[in-house]
């Protein structure tokens, strides 16, 4: 027979209502499959006057989240309010009350996970967070459980749907960045304040969580290199097409032979032939390589009410099983005291570099001489001058560079930027082989 456990929800916005609707719609199915039944007992919201979906249990609502945690009928606390302040207080209070926590809050865990995981260990009470990464894709359970016998060699992914949609529209429709962002906001794919999506940090928080799971130590966000899509322009999109690439906001997690972890998020050129190049719209994908399993690809909707609610409900059931049957999954705990994140200056890839230059004789030779002095090889040079319009204004010059350390490239570009023929700061994209 199924055992019934009570849920307390902190937050009843888009995802919270999705969780409630999923539990109502599939209650019997969940009970039959898991031998547990979960009922919502209390719901904390900021505004009691806000309209709710028809049938939502308004008698369970409160504006005091402490009432939710303290309620004796609540066995599991679900944090869905976002942010890192009140959300931290809710999760910490629930753990201290020995009530398992389910959250989709990647920023909270990436920035304050060390405190919360320590408290989880102290109280022997789990935190479940499948919904924190890639919406409805079960990537957390996959890395934590299905790959438990593998050394994770790399994880490469597109895990922010907003930026992916913007880049797709810039690529396929020829929209400018601002125009594509406005369209994404109008369609509800981007928030009124899209900062965390477009500056790369939403994706970076998710990558930090994946790396923490894969390598077992808490990662300081300040050691992670993050760049967003704000400086991507149509000229770069066009050059990528001409050269056989697509521009994507890419998260790269890679373990090197010496045990250091490369962890970075930035717009990158990826080959049109690679499967990740066809991940479009608000979809997400993560390619995971294990030493035993080889490469596996996980693809699906990375955001939205129902996909995210699906992951939250899966964690709720996992937590309920643990409470009802004892000894089930106890959540993630760090298993390494420390690890080393590679300095971004030591990472190596080929590069695309675009220079805003003056149209004068010898520009290529001057730039090439500085690169040669630094020992950086040139794979090719390109100009956007249209052969069919020879009188058109000269715009920029692009260099494709061979693999070198990023630190060396930065120092060399400072010297090139100082040349009289270079008018502004060079634009750099990594070229990822993804082999």
Query: What are the pLDDT digits (tens) for 415-425?
Result: 999 999 999 99
- For the entire predicted model, the pTM comes to 0.90
* Domain limits, the chain: 3-135+305-325, 140-299, 344-431
Residues ≥6 apart with Cβ < 8 Å to 271: 244, 245, 246, 277, 432, 433, 434
pLDDT tens for each residue of 353-395: 999 998 888 899 999 999 999 999 999 998 765 545 555 555 6
- Diameter of the chain measured on Cα atoms: 83
Q: What is the pLDDT of residue 35?
A: 86
* Whether CATH 3.30.360.10 fits 140-299: yes
Q: What is the pLDDT of residue 1?
A: 57
* Whether CATH 3.40.640.10 fits 3-135+305-325: no
Average pLDDT over residues 10-21: 93
CB 353 within 8 A of CB 138: no
* Whether CATH 3.40.50.10490 fits 344-431: no
What DSSP character marks residue 425?
P
Residue for token digits 């919201």? 45
Residue 213 has pLDDT above 60, yes or no: yes
Residue for token digits 């010898």? 362
Residue 90's CB is within 10 A of a number of other CB atoms, namely 27
Distance CA 174, CA 176 (A): 7
Q: What is the pLDDT of residue 387?
A: 45
Q: Is 96 a catalytic residue?
A: no
297-324 exposure pattern, b = at least 16 Cβ within 10 A, e = fewer: ebbbbbbbbebbbbbbbbbbbbbbbbbb
Q: What is the pLDDT of residue 336?
A: 83
Residue for token digits 């200056």? 345
Enclosing H/E stretch for 9: strand 3-10
Report long-range pairs for 239-243 (Cβ below 8 Å, ≥24 apart): 239/352, 239/354, 239/382, 239/384, 239/398, 240/171, 240/269, 240/352, 240/429, 241/171, 242/382, 243/269, 243/352, 243/382, 243/400
321 vs 372: which has the higher pLDDT: 372
Lowest mean pLDDT among 62-66, 164-168, 305-309, 368-372: 305-309
CB 39 within 8 A of CB 326: no
Strand partners, 245: 271
249-287 exposure pattern, b = at least 16 Cβ within 10 A, e = fewer: bbbbbbbeeeebbbbbbbbbbbbeebebbebbebbbbbb
pLDDT tens for each residue of 290-300: 999 999 999 99
The active-site residue, picked from 50, 206, 305, 415, is 206
Q: What is the pLDDT of residue 322?
A: 85
Strand partners, 284: 300
5 vs 389: which has the higher pLDDT: 5
Residue 281 has pLDDT above 80, yes or no: yes
When the pLDDT of each residue in the chain is averaged and rounded to a whole number, the result is 91
Q: Outline where 151-243 has alpha helix (H).
A: 161-172, 177-186, 195-198, 201-215, 234-243
């Amino acid at each position: 027979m199924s055992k019934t456990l009570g849920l307390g929800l902190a937050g009843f916005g888009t995802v919270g209502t999705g969780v409630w609707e999923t539990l109502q719609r599939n209650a019997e199915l969940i009970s039959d499959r898991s031998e547990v039944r979960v009922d919502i007992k209390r719901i904390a919201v900021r505004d009691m006057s806000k309209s709710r979906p028809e049938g939502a249990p308004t008698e369970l609502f409160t504006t005091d989240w402490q009432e939710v945690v303290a309620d004796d009928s609540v066995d599991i606390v679900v944090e869905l309010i976002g942010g890192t302040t009140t959300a931290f207080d809710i999760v910490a209070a629930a753990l201290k009350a020995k009530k398992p926590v389910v959250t989709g809050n990647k920023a909270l865990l990436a920035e304050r996970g060390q405190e919360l995981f320590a408290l989880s260990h102290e109280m022997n009470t789990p935190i479940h967070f499948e919904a924190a990464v890639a919406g409805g894709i079960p990537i957390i359970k996959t890395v934590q459980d299905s790959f438990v016998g593998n050394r994770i060699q790399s994880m490469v992914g597109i895990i922010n749907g907003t930026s992916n949609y913007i880049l797709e529209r810039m690529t396929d429709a020829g929209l400018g960045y601002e125009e594509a962002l406005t369209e994404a906001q109008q369609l509800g794919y981007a928030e009124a304040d899209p900062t965390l999506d477009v500056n790369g940090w939403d994706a970076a928080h998710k990558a930090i969580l994946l790396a923490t799971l894969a390598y077992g130590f808490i990662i300081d966000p300040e050691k992670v290199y993050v760049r967003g899509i704000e400086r991507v322009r149509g000229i770069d999109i066009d050059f990528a097409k001409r050269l056989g690439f697509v521009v994507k906001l890419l998260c790269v997690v890679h373990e090197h032979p010496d045990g250091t972890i490369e962890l970075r998020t930035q717009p990158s050129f990826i080959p049109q032939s690679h499967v990740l190049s066809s991940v479009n719209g608000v979809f997400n994908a993560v390619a995971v390589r294990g030493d035993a399993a080889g490469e596996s690809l996980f693809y699906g909707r990375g955001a939205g009410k129902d996909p995210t609610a699906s992951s939250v409900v899966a964690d709720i059931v996992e937590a309920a099983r643990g409470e009802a049957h004892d000894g089930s999954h106890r959540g993630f705990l760090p298993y390494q005291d420390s690890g080393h994140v590679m300095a971004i200056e030591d990472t190596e890839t080929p590069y695309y570099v675009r220079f805003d230059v003056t149209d004068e004789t010898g520009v290529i030779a001057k730039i090439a001489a500085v690169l040669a002095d630094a020992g950086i090889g040139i794979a090719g040079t390109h100009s956007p001058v249209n052969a069919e319009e020879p009188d058109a204004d000269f715009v920029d010059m692009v260099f494709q560079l061979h693999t070198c350390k990023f630190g060396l490239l930065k120092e060399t570009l400072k010297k090139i930027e100082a040349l009289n023929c270079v008018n502004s700061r060079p634009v750099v994209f990594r070229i990822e082989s993804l082999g």
